[in-house]
Chain A
Amino acid sequence: MSVQMNDTFAILIDTTRCKGCEKCVAACKEENGLGDDRPWRGQGAIDGLSPTRNCTVLRQADDRFVLQQCRHCLEPACVSACLVGAMQKTPEGPVIYDADKCMGCRYCLMACPYGIPRYDWDRAAPEVHKCTMCYDRVSEGREPACVEACPEEATVFGTRAELLAEARRRMAAEPGKYVPVIFGEHEVGGTSVLYISDAPLAMGWKADLGDQPLPALTWASLEKVPPVVVGMGTLMAGIYWVIGRRMKLAAEANVALAIEAAAAESGPAGEEADHD
């Protein structure tokens, strides 16, 4: 990721400070007007995120609490997947969603390595729901609602560079307290939501998601489109031309043979063949 990316906004979550009070969740629901919970099948099996909860607090072993929300990847899989640009990575950092462009294909739900986006399965005009890092507030220079609501400074808002520095500062201040990894620093090419924790966090579809940005995987196939168009077009046209020409030559040769044969047998028959 570039220096420029490190100037974008980000959130640092320190799971050792989170007491699981869920004030962030309440603030998020309030800020985004998400309304009463409309529980839907299967949602509990994942992590409690739902169209009415853009963030949740996961309770893990040893009473450790982890805020679960969109990671706002630096190179988001959902953005690369979206065929109408309804998912956008803004220059400020947040990944936002535009329901007016969306056609509801749900490829973003398939693509997200963390399984974050949620869908209005019970609505006739459904939309995708996920954290937008309070894009409106952030563009006005305010903190996201969840950060503002946190009484323990377990979530901190700032630029990515600042927060990486802050995370390292906290680790240096209390050696041994944290797992010496800033989760999200390099994961899937880096995310704008960073975690530090006293235990390993594995919250994606696989324990180790690797450092490669996912859009690069699709690009490996997409970059072959122009050569395929030119190559396949040329190949087919070439084969058509070659086969057509050979058939024509063969036909002419047949005709010539027929003429010769006819001429050899009797004179007048050749004229008919010629006419043909």
Chain B
Amino acid sequence: MTSRLGVLKTVLWASVGVLAAITVVRFTRGLGAVTNLSDAAPWGLWIGFDVMAGVALAAGGFVLAATVYVFGLERYRPFVRPAILTAWLGYIAVAVGLLYDLGLPWNIWHPMIYWQHHSVLFEVAACVMLYLTVLTLEFAPVVLEHPFFQRPLFRMAVKVLKKGTILLVILGIVLSTLHQSSLGSLFLIAPFRLHPLWYSPIIYVLFFVSAVGLGLMMVTLESLLSAYFLGHRLNREALAGLGLAASVVLWVYVALRVGDLAARGVLPGAIDGSWQSNWFVVELAWSAVIPAALLLSRRVRSSVAGLAACAAMAVSGLVLHRLDVSIVAFARPEGAGYFPTWAEFGVSIGIVSCCVLVFLFFVERFKVYEEEGGAAATPERAPVDPATAWSLAPPSFAPYRYSLVAVSAAVLALAFLPVRGASPRTTPVAAALAVDGRAIERDGVEPRNLVLAHMEIPIVDAVVGAEVPASLARLLAIDGNRDGTLVLFDHDAHAEREGGDPACAICHHLDLPYDRASSCSECHRDMYEPTRLFSHASHVTALDGNDGCTQCHADDAEIKTLETSTACVECHETPEAPGAAASGEPPLVPSPNDRWLPASGYMDAMHGLCLGCHQRRTLEEPARWGDALDRCDACHDADFGADLRALTPKRNSGGRTSVGRTDDHVR
């Protein structure tokens, strides 16, 4: 028995250590550092599990209190104290979980002064705060009965509290009814985001009924676990009674859930084969239908294994329901998925571990389990001496072991945490290199061929066969396609062509996250056609269709070409790109021909960077190269037979600082 408990405690302390490490990073580096939360998924595991499921898991407190104190079913009395303790710890866990989740946790008390009666969340917050107070008062007698508090004042307090028990219990039931249901009402405001199989105008009824069922099953599970770990005797008859009650409540829940879908005409959506429908069926079966059906059998109800299986299914299934409503079935934009980080799981597990440790602390030191409780289970323990009752150091090495485990776990966790803060996901782009190159004029045709300057070879026009003039140029080797392949890029020529300094923003304003410039394909959009940085279609729309033609094509008789049209700069007086901040530079007024040359098609731009040199090398050193450079598959992976448009250039495996395919090009 002790070794079971020892192992459990070791694991729990390790989780607490991990929690401690995550806590530091969470509160110094912000939510983004340790969670996968985003604007598309503003609520994650901490709300879905710690709050939504946590409150529901603690429902056993009010359900058992009602059963015993209001309905007078005395045989369930042994369950009340542990259930109240669980509920109390559960709500403290909810509050602690919220502190992790809230962006500004030091403002958690604000609802007390800024009342907002129109907010469901305000109602939830108010009820949870009040109910936590009620639970504290309900549980206080257990602590105050301890020998440590054998003073008249405390005895009177216990007397008063016991007298007022029924008032506290009824108040607790009312508050629980309100906030257990209102946790569902939170989602009424999001009819467009929550999937119709989970969204319901009576979602608050579903939340309340399932919370009652979950409460009963949680009390059952807890009894079984404490019997396993602490060696308590099981009251099988009473447990069977709880099981039957849970079965009834779960059937009501199933009927309400399915009936509501049918009434709204959404029921066909539950079997349409979409992943949501499948998930819905699994969730409903696992959380309610299967355990409720099994619990109808007397044999299952009276067997420990049967009860344990049913309780585990119902508890995990209803927790899943809360997670489904707040996370899984909640719509997010395409490509903006959410799955919790390990640190989010770490916090949830750590908080639960803390609760279990505190639970064990109370069970071992106070009379939580009446009559058949703690004292009998730990006969080896000496009678409690009031003077040392609070001492945490019994004569054993256990505390040292637990401390060691917790500290080691914390250190280990810290090693995997982003202690220097989170960084956004960057677009992988190789760093640009400044290189000396030569630009080969091709009779005024754009683009010019670019080669590295240290290729000291005579440059011969592949087609004409004569040496062509080449000018030295300062080039950049850039990751123009964002694929890790560096290509030579004539930055100065681009800048000049696009209009000097004010034109920088044409490329540099389109920044991807943490990227420094736009990829080639942002401008060289069409693969085969030369493109202009000019959208005729949007101008037609903007200038009122046909009526607007003359605003650019002033002379009806002329053929409408770039040359015969109004220059862009005559309308766009500041030749800045969209999105550029005002630079204060005087407007440039170049002629249309200087300023608005067409950009090459993407294919030409890319080929222009490579092909000229490939062909030249083939002519110059046929013995060395053969047709290895002159074939398409020198660069393109795909078969010749494939559609050319589908060809993708070979990726450079060389990494971040190579020019083209390094070995071939730089010797």
Contact = CB atoms under 8 A, between A and B. Distances in A.
Nearest to B186: A107
B102 A45 contact: no
Contacts of B104: 102-104, 125-126
A250 to B, nearest CB: 11
Interface stretch (A66-74, A132-140, A215-223): A215-223
Contacts of A200: none
Contacts of B171: 233
Question: Chain B interface: which size bin?
Answer: 35 or more
A106 B541 contact: no
B174 A232 contact: yes
Given A103-B107, A243-B71, A81 B192 contact: no
A152 interface: yes
Contacts of A26: 579-582
Interface in A63-121: 63-65, 77, 80-85, 101-107, 109-111, 113, 115, 117-121
A275 interface: no
Nearest to A114: B192
Contact of B190 (A84, A111, A225): A111
A139 B32 CA distance: 35
13 contacts: A19-B538, A62-B537, A85-B114, A104-B103, A104-B107, A109-B39, A110-B189, A124-B29, A218-B189, A232-B174, A236-B169, A236-B170, A243-B71
Given A44-B513, A122-B30, A237-B170, A82 B116 contact: yes
Contacts of A219: 118
Interface in A210-235: 214-215, 217-222, 225, 228-229, 232-233
B85 interface: no
Nearest to A154: B542
Contacts of B654: none
Interface in A116-164: 117-127, 152
A105 B123 contact: no
B535 interface: yes
Given A110-B189, A218-B119, A243-B72, 5 more contacts: A64-B541, A104-B103, A107-B186, A217-B201, A220-B201
B524 to A, nearest CB: 18
Contacts of B173: 232, 236
Interface residues of A, number: 82
Nearest to A117: B39
A87 to B, nearest CB: 10
B590 interface: no
B32 A122 contact: yes
Interface of A: 16-17, 19-22, 25-26, 30, 37-46, 49-50, 62-65, 77, 80-85, 101-107, 109-111, 113, 115, 117-127, 152, 174, 198, 204-206, 209, 214-215, 217-222, 225, 228-229, 232-233, 236-237, 239-240, 243-244, 247
Given A106-B42, A107-B186, A221-B182, A122 B421 contact: yes
Contacts of B578: 19-22
B70, B101, B181, most chain A CB atoms within 10 A: B70
A104 B537 contact: no
B192 A110 contact: no
B125 interface: yes
B42 A109 contact: yes
B541 A46 contact: no
B209 to A, nearest CB: 14
A101 B27 CA distance: 19
A26 B578 CA distance: 10
Given A42-B40, A222-B118, A222-B120, A121 B190 contact: no
Contact of A16 (B120, B188, B193, B541): B541
Contacts of B102: 103-105
Interface in B531-552: 535, 537-538, 541-542, 544
Interface stretch (B298-306, B332-340, B659-667): B332-340
A110 B43 contact: yes
B122 interface: yes
Contacts of A198: 541
B66 interface: yes
A264 B418 CA distance: 85
B422 interface: yes
Given A84-B110, A126-B103, A236 B120 contact: no
Contacts of A83: 111, 114, 116, 119, 121-122, 125
A103 B32 contact: no
Contact of A45 (B101, B188, B335): B335
B105 A103 contact: yes
Nearest to B193: A205
Interface string B173-206: 1100110011001101111110000000100100
Contacts of B28: 124
Contacts of A110: 42-43, 186, 189-190, 193, 330
B188 A236 contact: no
B37 interface: yes
Given A17-B542, A83-B122, A221 B32 contact: no
Contacts of A104: 102-105, 107
Contacts of A84: 107, 110-111, 114, 116, 122
Contact of B71 (A119, A237, A239): A239
Contacts of A122: 30, 32-33, 421-422, 424
A121 B120 contact: no
A106 B28 CA distance: 19
A218 B582 CA distance: 46
Contacts of B39: 40, 42-43, 46, 49-50, 109, 115, 117-119, 121
A19 B534 CA distance: 12
A166 B432 CA distance: 51
Counting from the closest, the 6 A-B pairs by CB-CB distance are A104-B103, A39-B513, A121-B32, A42-B38, A63-B538, A109-B42
Contacts of B117: 222
B111 to A, nearest CB: 5
B69 interface: yes
B242 interface: no
Contact of A101 (B40, B72, B110): B110
A240 B170 contact: yes
B425 interface: yes
Interface string B255-289: 00000000000000000000000000000000000
Contacts of A239: 70-71
Contacts of A126: 30-31, 103-104
A198 B7 CA distance: 69
Interface in B601-626: none
Contacts of B248: none
A209 B580 CA distance: 35
B114 A101 contact: yes
B174 A215 contact: no
Given A121-B30, A123-B30, A228-B174, A80 B204 contact: no
Nearest to B187: A110
A37 B424 CA distance: 12
A233 B167 CA distance: 10
A77 B121 CA distance: 13
